[in-house]
Structure 1
Amino acid sequence: MPTLSIDRFRKRPEKASFDAHPPLDDRERFVVRTVTWGYALITATQKVALLLFPGTALQIALLLTMGLIGILCWRGGMGIDVRKAMLYLAFGAAAGVTALANNITATTLPSMLFVYAVYSIFIFSVPLSKGAYGKILDNIVLLGAIAAGLVYMDWAVQLVGMEMPSMHSILPEQFRFFNYIYIQPIEWGSPWYKPNGYFFLETSFVSQFTATALVIEICRRQRLLYLAVTASGLLLSFGGTGLALLALSLPVVFFYVRPRLLLIGIMMLPLLFGVALKAGLVDNIETRTGEFSQEGKSGNQRFTKQGEVIAATLMGPTREALVGIGPGRMPQRLNLLWIPATKVLVEYGLFVSVLFWVFYFYSIFGRGVPIFASWVVAMQYLFLNGSFLVPLLSVICVIIAGMYRIEDPEKVASAASRRRAPTRLRRPIRRPADAAPAAETPG
């Protein structure tokens, strides 16, 4: 089994292996284009949902992702990863047993079926060369720069005295994904509103989107233009979760930063601090970091309260700790989104939680995907959102890190051709009766 060493990060192999590559073949170019445009469409429609049941809406992001997977299975060489499928079945079976043990009803059954649907997209993988995957990462950074441009647009519109535009205002109510604060002021009573990037669910999502692009760019190409655009977009979004995602990614980012970039950053710190202080960003960061101990604040709800509930569950009645209270029965609280670790443990119990996390981490990490890509989506999924039954967060994990098997170009071409070849071509070729006999081999 391959080992993970610090030297792997210090030498930045991604620059050589993911950027220096031969031209892509037609299949890989198709995969790169399909993934890029699919991800752009999914991002642009994340506010759109279909109302399935009262209080339950399905983001069309999940349906679009299933369509994307179907196209890649048809023409891109994608197939089912047997090991991931086995883990998915083990987790799903255990979750079903605990649901039956908790007397699943017509009101809780949709939650159970929703879990099966959302996490079915994790079991697929497509073989790609390092160069093809590198192009996908470059395109994700480009999309992050475009999102930063939308943040600039939101500020420009406000500065000229116009109302900040939002896709939310043109969507019919029955097609809106609810339970998110689409437009919110920087602080109570402020005339300025946090940018929402027009298409994004709320400020936190556009800040996380730009932060993800920033982390990928730092760990790969370190192009100053893209670093400046995504970093400024992140700061100007006034989203605390984007900054938190960047902070959570520092343990990995540290091993990829070149000395030149680090020196430039240190030299620019006084200028950046002055600009941030003048724009009110410093006050915003100070306010957000002080929220962990304040009851009802975002930081307290996203981190402190979650730990308290997990501890109470593990220290509470043994039956509830082992098999949970049942799917869809998590107590709902105003302005509180349960992170996956809390929701899975409380609703399904410790046994299912272990199986789920083995399935999740195996699906996201490994198979040649660079650790920084897996790390940044895992941090976003684990700590910054109520991700377990929000399809978009699972989709991000799959598209950025979870649905690839990175191999040498020769192995990729061989595996893809075998998967695409019709069954009849694999049978032995029969020589016609009137064909000339093959020449005999001497001896």
Structure 2
Amino acid sequence: MKSPYVNYKLEKLVMVLPVMLILLQRISIPLYSFQLPMIIPVIYAFVILFFLIDKIKINIYRLLLFIALVFILSLTTVLNGNYVITSYLYLIVIYLPFVFVIQNPKLFNQLISYFQNIMFFVALVGIFQFVLQFYFEFFDPMTKLPAEFHTQGYVSTGEVAYGSGIFRANGVFFLEASFFSQFLAIAIVIEIYYFKRIKRIFIKTIALICTFSGTGLLILLLFSIPFIKELKFNHITKVLIFVVPFFIYFIGTSYGDSLIARIGELTGGSKTNSGYIRFFGPLVLLEEQINKDALIFLKGMGAGLSDDLWHFANNPALVKLLLEYGFFSTLIFSMFFFFVLWQSQGKWVVKSSLLVMYMFLSGALLQPQTVYLNLLFASLFIKKG
């Protein structure tokens, strides 16, 4: 007979997931020439354990959509004949946990609260990381990991401006400063909509500024300003007292100029800036490939075969999927992903901010560090009824 106490203690292990999602971002397991991010076996261990204690269930509608997705992905992969098998299998492995659901509103609320506490801690870490470099040499302890265990393909530390010698905060544990900024923006949106703790909003906003990343600020602008009406008068007063003087001072500094320049890059212009790389470059690449072979739009070019085409780090999820698997696979994938979001318990503002982050601001299709943030807050916990 199962002990209710033991089950309760095991159930609380869900709180470990956001910790692992952050602390393990830069750690991978070497498998021959391939790296497996540590968060994948952590998520699978959690799903298996919760399934065994009957705290997580397979959702039949998600399962059917996932089977349809695997079928169409397999069909287009076989028809293309030329593909990277590890890329195809990796896609399936990453998204399989999305067929599982939990119906427990209390546990979801606890998870949200726990994530906020963790992000408050790493926000403080990021602020200290940025400030301390003015007194000591910038230090990133994660670089001391053996190279084979250090997640490759990311610029974890970078200067605010080329040659400045001042490095953007990455909160130590995040793959890049941009990841740190996006996670912070999600945390601030959650704080505004769920908790409204002004001091925490202030601290996380300062940390976000220390990343000098426009992507986090973009999320914040899109999803926090419409919810100012949710704040009471005393909350707005506190925001004005805490934030406005700091903002006015900061904008007048050279660091403020650098941050404004980073935000300005999001509008496009030069082919080397963030706006082009994130929003225009992928579409131009897609158009170029379709012009070369119109059938790519329908059947794709093959799993993993677009990787050598990307001349920039950001490869948006749907563009990469369309390039490699074609229109029908992308359609079924979109149906699966949006159904998962629609079913889930989280408030729409959180789900929408995660969706923007996933679809446009990171190369997230095969990036479990971002994908599983969606799993935790926009998928895993399903609405009752």
TM-score computed with the length of structure 2 as normaliser: 0.90
Cα 1:238–1:149, aligned 2, differ >3 Å: closer, same or farther?
A: same
Residues 1:293 and 2:272 are matched in the alignment: no
Cα drift, residue 228 of structure 1: 1.5
Residue 136 (1) aligns with residue 114 (2): no
What letter is aligned with 2:303? Answer: P
Answer yes or no: is the 8 Å Cα contact 2:138–2:167 preserved in 1: no
SS at match of 2:96: helix
Q: 64-73 vs 252-261, which deviates more?
A: 252-261
1:255 Cα deviation (Å)? Answer: 6.2
Cα separation, 2, equivalents of 1:214 and 1:28: 32
Q: SS state of the match for residue 383, structure 2? A: strand
Shift of 1:295: 1.1
State the alpha-carbon separation in 1 of the partners of residues 231 and 325 from structure 2: 41
1:39 is matched with which residue?
A: 18
State the structure with more CA Rg: 1
Q: Deviations over 1:170-192 (max 9, x none)?
A: 21111111111111111011121
1:326 corresponds to which residue?
302
Partner residue, 1:114: 90
Q: Deviations over 1:91-139 (max 9, x none)?
A: 111011001111035xx1111111110110111101102x332221111
Between 342-351 and 267-276, report the one with greater CA deviation: 267-276
Summarize the Cα distance change of 1:218–1:57 in structure 2 as closer, same or farther, 3 Å threshold: same
Aligned to 1:170: 144
2:161 corresponds to which residue? 187
Q: Secondary structure at the match of 1:57?
A: strand
Secondary structure, in 3 states, of the residue corresponding to 1:290? helix
Point out the more displaced range, 381-390 or 227-236: 227-236
Report the counterpart of residue 80 of structure 2 in structure 1. 102
- 8 Å CA contact 1:28–1:132 kept in 2: the answer is no
Distance 1:90 1:258, change over 3 A: farther
Specify the alignment match of 2:205 in structure 1: 231
1:385, 1:343 → 2: CA distance?
Answer: 12
- Aligned pairs (5 A) from 1:150-161: 150-161=125-136
Deviations 1:146-173 (A, max 9, x none): 1101112202421222332331x22111
Which of 195, 219, 222 aligns to 1:248? It is: 222
Q: Distance in 2 between matches of 1:220 and 1:92?
A: 36
C-alpha distance in 2 between matches for 1:132 and 1:61: 21
Residue aligning to 1:402: 379
Structure 1 CA distance, aligned partners of 2:43 and 2:288? 37
For 1:300, the aligned partner's letter is Y
Match of 1:372 among 333, 343, 349: 349
Please give the alpha-carbon distance, in whole angstroms, between the structure 2 residues aligned to 1:333 and 1:318.
Answer: 19
Identify if the C-alpha distance between structure 1 residues 339 and 53 changes in structure 2 by more than 3 Å, giving closer, same or farther.
farther
Partner in structure 1 of residue 62 of structure 2 = 84
Pick which of 45-54 and 219-228 moved more. 45-54
Q: Which residue number in structure 1 is paired with residue 319 of structure 2? A: 342
Q: Does 1:63 align with 2:63?
A: no
Contact 2:198 2:239 in 1 (8 A): no
Aligned-partner residue type, residue 297 of structure 2: A
Of all paired residues, the percent bearing the same amino acid is 21
- Where 2:302 maps in the other structure, the secondary structure is coil
* Equivalent AA in structure 2 for residue 350 of structure 1: F
Greater shift, 271-280 or 119-128, is seen at: 271-280
Displacement after TM superposition at 1:266 (Å): 4.9
Counterparts of 1:111 and 1:388 in 2: how far apart (Å)? 11
Q: Is the 8 A contact 1:249 1:379 kept in 2?
A: no
Cα distance in structure 2, aligned partners of 1:313 and 1:279: 44
Structure 2 CA distance for aligned equivalents of residues 313 and 59 of structure 1: 30
Contact 1:204 1:241 survives alignment (8 Å): yes
Q: How does 1:193-208 map to 2 (within 5 A)?
A: 193-208=167-182
Whichever residue aligns with residue 91 of structure 2, its letter is: V
User: Quick one: distance in 1 between partners of 2:88 and 2:12?
Assistant: 34
Question: What amino acid is the match of 2:215?
Answer: T
Distance 1:263 1:104, change over 3 A: same
Q: State the 1:286 CA deviation.
A: 2.3
Aligned partner of residue 318 in structure 1, secondary structure: coil
DSSP-derived class of the 2:102 partner: strand
Q: CA deviation at 1:312?
A: 4.6
Q: Aligned to 1:362, which of 311, 327, 339?
A: 339
Quick check: which one's helix share is greater?
A: 2
8 A Cα contact 1:49 1:60, kept in partner: yes
The residue number in structure 1 matching 2:194 is 220
Aligned-pair distance for 1:245?
Answer: 2.1
Provide closer, same or farther for how the CA distance between residues 260 and 318 of structure 1 changes in structure 2, counting only shifts above 3 A. farther
With over 3 angstroms needed to count, the CA separation of the structure-2 counterparts of 1:85 and 1:281, relative to structure 1, is farther
Q: 1:409-442 CA distances to partner (integer Å, 9 max, x unpaired)?
A: xx8xxxxxxxxxxxxxxxxxxxxxxxxxxxxxxx
Mapped contact 2:127–2:206 kept (Cα < 8 A): no
Q: Secondary structure at the match of 1:400?
A: helix
Task: Quote the residue 1:419 is aligned against.
Answer: none
